[in-house]
Structure 1
Amino acid sequence: MFKKKETLITAFALFSLFFGAGNLILPPLLGFNSGNHWLVVTIGFGLSAVVIPVLGILAHAKLQGTLIDFGHKVSLTFSLIYAFLIYAISITLPSPRTASVTHEMAIQPFWNISSWYTSSIYFGLVLVFAMNRSKILGILGKILTPAIILILLLVIGITLFSFPFDFGTTTIASPFTNGILEGYQTFDAIGAVVVGGVIIISINLRHKNATYQDKKTLIRNAGWLAGLALFLIYLGLILSGSLVHDSFDREISRTALLSGLTINSLGAIGNIFLSILVGVACFTTAVGIVTGTADFIKSRFNGSQLAYTLTAILGSILGVLMGQFNVGYIITVALPALMFIYPITIILILLNVTPEKYASSLVFRAVIITTFIFSIPDFLGSISALAPAAETFSWIPLQQYSLGWILPALIVCLISNLYIKFTKNNF
């Protein structure tokens, strides 16, 4: 049985692996635009950026394998394609975005240097961490995460006590669903299936004789603790953003608002604290993504260390190249990929935490196929050139909120289970 200290270290490591660029810059602007609906927005954001990721960690605690295991009940071919897509998206979008945010918010305000220098040094350090695989959990859990949480609590706490609880009117048409969709941009559902694997391997390296049940309990408890910390931080950042609605221009960017919040709360030294916060938070996420991708490729090549090393190097090079684009551009480019892969990821997570008797292979296959089909309109709608084609599917319930896949998936899940029950078939 693991000690409470190990649970806390693992929870801190999970928090830092989750908490990256999007987690920092998205909530304040969401709150800024939400006005008096900030709590509704927070609940929506929490569903996609906290609840689903935590369930992803619980699924990892149950499976204790690799990302391949998430979709094995559909088929091995599906699992392989899905896993490769997840890792390809991870190292080409959210990982480089962390370098872009770090350059814009932590480096550019102090030094007039090219983003090439920033991303090269940044991913050089990421590679160093990835190559010291066995030490990652301890470094993240004991050193980097406490620094992230301390600075965040300072910014949120001072903001909450410095401004009256006066909220403006919302500029968001549908606060709840907007909160859900904005939570997509954190990549945390995808992050859960990626960094969950990192945590599994890290625990196996540190505690080779631990039992399945002990590891399951450790990961489950750490997952809930990390999720609670994430939700409280998001709540604080969204509320802080809503309180400063009269202090900044309505067209302010995500990064500028976070910078303004920090300076307002911490004064002239705020830029230094913000630079440390952004640099550390983004760096831990990049380490998790590159390490997770390298772990996966290593597992596909019979544990080859060479495959791990080459993948870590390739992931770092991609980070340098893609890290040259600004944050707004990367977020825009990421949207179609998210609309395509996120619904499938959410359903896989939910099915993997569902009791076995309600999540047979037939249920997996039927629900995943349905989710894929009904998420196509959302994918089309996220690409401006194809958006008119998406309007053809406006009759689908919740389609106007880009959530048209939810009800069909639920209905097919129910029908599949009823079919199995009344035909007495096991699939």
Structure 2
Amino acid sequence: MKNQNSLAIGLMTFAMFLGAGNIIFPPFLGLEAGTQYIPAMLGFLVTAVGLPALTLIVFGRLSDSAQLTKALPRPLAIAFWVLLFTAVGPAFAMPRAVTVAYEMGLKPFVSGDHLMAFSSIFVLVTLLLAFQRGKLVDYIGKIMTPLLVLMLAALAVAAFITPLGPLNIPTLDYQHKAVTSGLIQGYMTMDAIAAVGFGWIIIKAIRDKGCESPKEIFSATLKVTLVYAFLMSACYLALAYVGATSGSIAEGVSNGGELLTRYVAVVFGPLGQYLLAGIIIMACLTTTVGLTNACAEYYQQTFRSPFAMTATIVALLTGIIANFGLEQILTISLPAILILCPIAIALVLTAFVLPTTKRNSVSFVTIVFISSVLGTVDALSILGLLPESLSSLCAKYLPLFDAHASWFVPVIFALVISKCLSTKSKNPEVGLEQASTTK
């Protein structure tokens, strides 16, 4: 694949990942990290960028997104994908993107409630762009993303050339365990689960550019992943630095969106709010377009559903939920997201280590079971629904429970055992020789 195509797909990938949350979250993290900015961001980038990048690389090696769950029984595989695309699609991520785009992109400039009109237009534009399947790389990768990068670059240049002040004093969490806190916060972005969804779009885009053999697809995926990882890391570092040097305007700030709004008002004046509005709307739009395509691609490939019909249903549900039921849906879907994320990461790690064949079905099912059970425990803990007695017990016996990753060590342990058994089964003569030597 030509380098310009790799760059274009990499830009598209970056734009799809860069939602409003990815823009709002880093400034507040930087504000809390302060002088511990560098170690905190090193930890943050490992999980916020490293996990999604690993997911994309695994997809590139598999050459087909559906291969990720090939070792699972078909009903379990379908249940995973349907739940994932429902959660990151019309039930959670997409309605949130629409409402955030409205709250930060339009509401500051108008009076009254225009959410219904805004969401209708936003969803329509999303649908129109999603229908341009063959031109998605051209529209997002070659047009929309460069504009987004230029707007973000304006923020980055201002932050590093004319910071508002010195680095802040870090909060207690970042004074003594900056790297660990960064790792936890990066994991909580949940971009790893988005990477599993976006994998369908990225692999298809690579195939559409003429890559057919597994070697070509893997090579192209590596290039795309490097572009994504570089741009996303640069974006996170710049936005976090904005927060780390904005202590003078941060009094009473409770979230990164509020801090970023104050920052652009001070640095860019009246035009700052328009700059921020443009960044947020563009970021949310590229995310909803990508997720609409990912959902439709999956249903078309798995159930032979017409692409246009599935995309339209996803977009309509997104618009309806954004207007009438977001809070209720979030209450229901957030636990699903928190549970699905460990399962998705566990599947990616397993596919990275073991071949995704039916011969390894027991290993895949076991690891999914472990990540599901302990992911549920973590989700209940995050939501404050875990009984105090059980929480104390988990904190005592489950490694990384306080980091909301109690599933990680057991999954790695199960993965090591599975790999050892798999290696031994491939070389039965080794076991016979060892037995003979023992005798």
Identify whether the pair has TM-score above 0.5, normalized to the shorter chain.
yes
Q: CA deviation at 1:210?
A: 4.2
Aligned to 2:166: 165
Q: CA deviation at 1:89?
A: 0.4
Q: CA deviation at 1:331?
A: 7.5
Q: CA deviation at 1:143?
A: 0.5
Aligned to 1:144: 144
SS in 1 for 2:249: coil
CA distance in 2, matches of 1:110, 1:225: 35
Aligned to 1:377: 377
Aligned to 1:114: 114
After superposition, residues 345-384 of structure 1 pair within 5 angstroms as 345-354=344-353, 356=355, 360-384=360-384
SS in 1 for 2:171: coil
Aligned to 2:338: 339
1:58 counterpart = 2:57 = yes
Q: Give the counterpart letter for 1:269 in structure 2.
A: L
Query: What do the CA deviations read for 1:39-62 (whole angstroms, capped 9, x no partner)?
Result: 233223212221111111112212
User: 2:37 touches 2:244 (CA, 8 Å); kept in 1?
Assistant: yes
Q: CA deviation at 1:372?
A: 2.2
Q: 1:20 to 1:356 in 2, by over 3 A?
A: same
Aligned to 2:126: 126
Q: 1:371 to 1:425 in 2, by over 3 A?
A: farther
Aligned to 1:76: 74
CA distance in 1, matches of 2:252, 2:333: 24
Q: 1:250 to 1:333 in 2, by over 3 A?
A: farther
CA distance in 1, matches of 2:253, 2:326: 16
After superposition, residues 258-277 of structure 1 pair within 5 angstroms as 258-277=260-279
User: 2:95 touches 2:326 (CA, 8 Å); kept in 1?
Assistant: no
User: 2:70 touches 2:356 (CA, 8 Å); kept in 1?
Assistant: no
Aligned to 2:191: 188
Q: CA deviation at 1:194?
A: 1.3
User: 1:34 touches 1:171 (CA, 8 Å); kept in 2?
Assistant: no
Unmatched tracts of structure 2, length 5 or more: 429-439
1:393 counterpart = 2:394 = yes
Max radius of gyration: which structure?
A: 2
CA distance in 2, matches of 1:390, 1:88: 30
After superposition, residues 282-361 of structure 1 pair within 5 angstroms as 282-302=284-304, 304-305=305-306, 308-324=307-323, 335-354=334-353, 356=355, 360-361=360-361
TM-score, with structure 2 as normaliser: 0.88
CA distance in 1, matches of 2:314, 2:56: 23
Aligned residues, how many? 420
Match for 2:201 among 183, 198, 203?
198
User: 2:206 touches 2:221 (CA, 8 Å); kept in 1?
Assistant: no
TM-score, with structure 1 as normaliser: 0.90
CA distance in 2, matches of 1:421, 1:108: 59
Q: 1:31 to 1:269 in 2, by over 3 A?
A: same
SS in 1 for 2:248: coil
Aligned to 1:18: 17
User: 2:350 touches 2:415 (CA, 8 Å); kept in 1?
Assistant: no
Q: CA deviation at 1:160?
A: 2.1
**Percent identity between the aligned chains?**
25
Aligned to 2:434: none
Q: CA deviation at 1:264?
A: 2.7
CA distance in 1, matches of 2:387, 2:297: 37
SS in 1 for 2:269: helix
Unmatched tracts of structure 1, length 5 or more: none
CA distance in 1, matches of 2:329, 2:167: 33
CA distance in 1, matches of 2:32, 2:332: 22
CA distance in 1, matches of 2:331, 2:186: 14
Aligned to 1:87: 85
Q: 1:15 to 1:331 in 2, by over 3 A?
A: farther
